[in-house]
């Protein structure tokens, strides 16, 4: 079932992809606009936990790459 969805997305045109992603973003914004403060706090806590888990599992090379990207973004903001 998941493979069929992947195949379908692989065949879609850029315009179709952009439309699909725009629809997804719109639905996400609507969900966030309707959520309670408690739901928001829980969503953010889960995001933080997932981020910590990813960082705990990353290799030193992955960590260095992530930090280099962060440093580059900081330099671009200051420029």
State pLDDT tens for residues 35-67: 999 999 999 999 999 999 999 999 999 999 999
Would you kindly state where each structural domain of the chain is located, as residue ranges?
1-77
Number of helices (H), then strands (E), in the chain: 4, 0
Q: The pTM is what?
A: 0.55
| The token pair that represents 79 in the structure block | 């420029």
| The token pair that represents 43 in the structure block | 């969503």
Write the DSSP assignment of 21-36 as a string of letters.
HHHHHHHHHHHHHH--
């Amino acid at each position: 079932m998941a493979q069929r969805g992947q195949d379908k997305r692989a065949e879609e045109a850029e315009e179709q992809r952009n439309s699909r992603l725009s629809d997804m973003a719109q639905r996400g914004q609507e969900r966030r606009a309707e959520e309670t403060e408690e739901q928001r706090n829980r969503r953010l806590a889960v995001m933080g936990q997932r981020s910590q888990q990813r960082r705990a599992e990353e290799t030193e090379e992955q960590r260095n790459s992530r930090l280099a990207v962060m440093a580059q973004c900081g330099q671009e903001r200051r420029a």
